[in-house]
Amino acid sequence: MSNERRIKGKIRYLIIVPIIMALILMGISVFMFGPYSRKGLICLLIIAVYIILVIIAYIRLMPVINSTMVEYALEQGKIQNELLRELAIPYVILDTDGHVMWANSKFYETIGVRDKKHIKKPIDAYFPQLVPSVYESGERMEMDIEYGDRLFNAQIRRVDLTNVFLEDKSEHKDDEIVIAVYLFDETELRNLKKENEDQKLVAGLVYIDNYDEVMDSLEDVKHSILNALVDRKINMYLSNADAIVRHIENDKYFCVFRQKYMQMLKDDKFALLDEVKSINVGNEIAMTLSMGLGMGSDNFIEDYEYAKVAIGLALGRGGDQVAVKAGDQVTYYGGKSAGTEKTTRVKARVKAQAFEELLVGKEKVIIMAHKRPDSDAFGSAVGVYRLVTSLGKKAYIVLNEVTDAIKPVVSTFNNSNYSDMIINSEQALGMVDSQTMLVVTDVNRPSMTECEELISRVTTVVVFDHHRQTNEAIQNATLSYIEPFASSACEMIAEMYEYMSETPKLRQQEADAMYAGILIDTDNFLVKTGVRTFEAASFLRKSGADVTRVRKMFRSSMTELKERAEGISNAEIYMNSFALSYIDQDPESDDAPTVPVAKVANELLNVVNVKASFVVTEADNGILYVSARSIGDINVQVIMERWSGGGHANVAGAQLEGKKKEEFFDELKAVLKEMYESGEI
């Protein structure tokens, strides 16, 4: 039914309704007065005359009504056509191939074509985003498009002309389809929004990472000179961002600047980091600083809180970098250096005393490390176990899987003294009550712990870790001791022993486990080893650790030696600086060769010109294990973060699900090239 027929049908009601009502009145008259009474006949006669008059009126007025409707429709069509043509919003009707069927004056004006001129080119010649495939994606859609220096919000509607007046709106193959496009100019609105965003304030905290260490290495008379130079560098750099800078402590600054300068600082990759490191007035150690910037909130107090979180993340990752927190998103810049070892033990003493105070009100402690634990994870857990039990508290270590990496160490605890030391996740969850403390060692990412559910179930959580922090961190920790400069978690725990109210007495196998953790994480004291590392090792040696006994634990099997040889033979050198290799899993073994992978990564650093190595292996469970090692200035942790990994500047790794080694190496090469060319590594 056409629209015209529908309207005519409604007009017929003008005669049908009165006639029906008249017939009803006839029936009522007959019923009330009878068919032959005088009153009844008079009523019937009057009603009959009424019906005749209505019919005559309909017959005579119908042509006039039709004529009036046609004239009105024509006038309305002209008005609508004129309104559309003069509409202040560009409007165009296209066919399904994108050719212009009709457009209003504003559209012609927008694309710079003379009004009413036939446009032969398809619409995507002017707006490349409006390709025909876009029209097929749905009945209604909208998208942002650009033309010249203008930005438009395009609202697109697919119209079926064949079915426009039908109740069945479904589209059929032979239907006549057109595309209606409205272009709303949002250039001014976007500019105003951007200007509003640019005027928002950014809160910043600037901390000098190694102030005390640098000053201790410098003559007293030069302290004021170094302070003045650093102060001048910071003020000069931030003055480019029109910032207000205040020196709040010897090694701390506070700054405020408008958000529009953020892109400028990002473009030069926060050159202040390198400028400060270049200052030399005779100091043996290069001074480094970290920045935490908070932005993105409508409340400046909240931005300041973001800045405090950001500076904490920057320092937790080793310093010498900038952390920018905008809402829930955190971005890092810099962080190329491995950091400077802290010689002071003040932090270790404070954390040890705080830990001992927390233990006073607890009856038992559950200790856990990361999944597939290594020697450092198990050794540090054993160290905490002895700390806790020496204070008369019950302690348990959560261990779901005894990997090849820790099997030699764990086997030394198979005696009656440690019969209830090791438990699994289910047992740990069953022990939780209000008097339980949870200690997490060698990891600070919830998703990588042995039992993530424990973190939310236990009210008192303590974290001891030496890995650089990522965006994912344990949020509800009562006490957090994260020291990225430490070689291992075992080193951190060993230092804490000296500051307990009563120094715990380590048993022989416990000292061996902790010594093994330091030995493996430092690759026999070759990687990330400082003065405090040797002091911790010395303490463990005095406590009964035997170097020869530990070495025997970690001698390689012939199978492992062959796997390492395979990894070295599979290696390739990329960009003359990076060694890439892989080890295939032994089909007769249930475990992926993760230990040989780490050892191969270490050995490849002995190759001339190799600055970093990346070795992978694929496990049967579909996980790709990546070990990354570096020597020099390459920060492999920053690289591994591209795949949600982490670790240290010189030792890092990642675990990838559902990814093949060929795919990973292609991605890795692209990332290495990009980061090398941009100066990030």
Name the residue with higher pLDDT: 30 or 425.
Answer: 425
Pairing of strands 177-185, 91-94: antiparallel
To 5 degrees, how large is the angle CA 663–CA 668–CA 673? 135
Pairing of strands 177-185, 201-208: unpaired
Name the residue with higher pLDDT: 628 or 526.
Answer: 628
Long-range contacts of 125-132 (CB under 8 A, 24+ apart): 127/154, 129/154, 130/98, 130/154, 130/156, 130/181, 131/98, 132/96, 132/97, 132/98
To 5 degrees, how large is the angle CA 285–CA 290–CA 295? 170
pTM over 0.75? The answer is: no
**Residue 508: pLDDT above 80?**
yes
**Residue 647: pLDDT above 80?**
no
**Residue 143: pLDDT above 70?**
yes
Q: Which residues 6+ apart lie within 8 Å of 555 measured at CB? A: none
Question: Residue 336, Cβ neighbours under 10 Å: how many?
Answer: 18
Q: Which two tokens stand for residue 623?
A: 């996980």
Q: What is the pLDDT of residue 166?
A: 47
Integer Cα distance of 647 and 598 in angstroms:
13
Q: Cβ distance 161 to 168 under 8 Å? A: no
Q: Which two tokens stand for residue 444?
A: 């600070």
Question: Residue 614, Cβ neighbours under 10 Å: how many?
Answer: 30
Q: What is the pLDDT of residue 256?
A: 94
The phi and psi torsions of 415 (rounded to 5 degrees) equal -145, 175
Distances (CA, A) of 340 to 5, 46, 166, 214, 344: 88, 113, 77, 10, 12
Q: Which residues 6+ apart lie within 8 Å of 309 measured at CB? A: 292, 294, 325
Q: Which two tokens stand for residue 200?
A: 């928002």
DSSP secondary structure string for all residues of 387-398? HHHHTT-EEEEE
Q: Which two tokens stand for residue 128?
A: 């490349």
**Residue 3: pLDDT above 80?**
no
Q: Name residue, tokens 């479904």.
A: 170
HSE-CB for 486 with a 13 A CA cutoff: 29
Q: What is the pLDDT of residue 291?
A: 92
**Residue 422 DSSP SS3:** strand
Q: What is the pLDDT of residue 66?
A: 60
Integer Cα distance of 23 and 565 in angstroms:
107
To 5 degrees, how large is the angle CA 293–CA 295–CA 297? 150
Integer Cα distance of 545 and 554 in angstroms:
14
Question: Residue 136, Cβ neighbours under 10 Å: how many?
Answer: 11
From 482, 485, 518, select the one nearest 648 (Cα to Cα): 485
Query: pLDDT digit string (tens) for 580-601?
Result: 998 887 666 655 567 788 888 8
Integer Cα distance of 640 and 529 in angstroms:
22
Q: Cβ distance 79 to 102 under 8 Å? A: no
Q: What is the pLDDT of residue 76?
A: 58
Q: What is the pLDDT of residue 12?
A: 66
Average pLDDT of the residues in 401-412: 85
Length of the chain: 681
Integer Cα distance of 115 and 281 in angstroms:
72
Average pLDDT of the residues in 527-546: 86
**Residue 614 DSSP SS3:** strand
The phi and psi torsions of 12 (rounded to 5 degrees) equal -60, -25
DSSP state, residue 468: P
Name the residue with higher pLDDT: 579 or 588.
Answer: 579
**pLDDT grade for 74, boundaries at 50, 70 and 90:** low
Query: pLDDT digit string (tens) for 652-666?
Result: 888 888 788 888 888
Query: pLDDT digit string (tens) for 325-381?
Result: 888 788 888 766 555 555 556 778 888 888 888 888 888 999 999 888 888 899 999
Q: What is the pLDDT of residue 603?
A: 87
**Residue 434: pLDDT above 90?**
no
Pairing of strands 289-295, 244-249: unpaired
Integer Cα distance of 197 and 219 in angstroms:
47
In 275-312, which positions are buried (b, 16+ CB within 10 angstroms) versus exposed (e)?
Answer: ebeebeeebeeebbbbbbbbbbbeeeeebbebbeebbb
Q: Which strand (E) or helix (H) includes residue 492?
A: helix 489-497
**For the chain, what percent of residues have pLDDT higher than 90?**
11
Alpha-carbon torsion 656, 661, 665, 667, what sign? Answer: negative
Q: What is the pLDDT of residue 269?
A: 83
Q: What is the mean pLDDT of the chain?
A: 81
Query: pLDDT digit string (tens) for 23-73?
Result: 787 777 777 777 667 777 777 788 778 778 777 777 776 666 665 665 655
DSSP state, residue 341: -
From 477, 297, 365, select the one nearest 305 (Cα to Cα): 297
Q: Which residues 6+ apart lie within 8 Å of 535 measured at CB? A: 495
489-497 helix and 346-360 helix, angle to the nearest 10 degrees: 70
**For the chain, what percent of residues have pLDDT higher than 70?**
85
558-569 helix and 594-604 helix, angle to the nearest 10 degrees: 50
Q: What is the pLDDT of residue 438?
A: 93
Within its chain, how far is the Cα of 638 from the centroid? 15
- DSSP strands (E only) in 619-663: 623-630, 646-647, 651-657
The phi and psi torsions of 544 (rounded to 5 degrees) equal 120, 0
End-to-end CA separation in angstroms for the chain = 72
Q: What is the pLDDT of residue 10?
A: 63
HSE-CB for 314 with a 13 A CA cutoff: 33
Integer Cα distance of 362 and 383 in angstroms:
18
Q: What is the pLDDT of residue 1?
A: 43
**pLDDT grade for 173, boundaries at 50, 70 and 90:** very low
Q: What is the pLDDT of residue 237?
A: 92
Integer Cα distance of 648 and 442 in angstroms:
12
Average pLDDT of the residues in 464-475: 77
Integer Cα distance of 513 and 77 in angstroms:
90
Q: What is the pLDDT of residue 174?
A: 45
**Residue 89 DSSP SS3:** coil
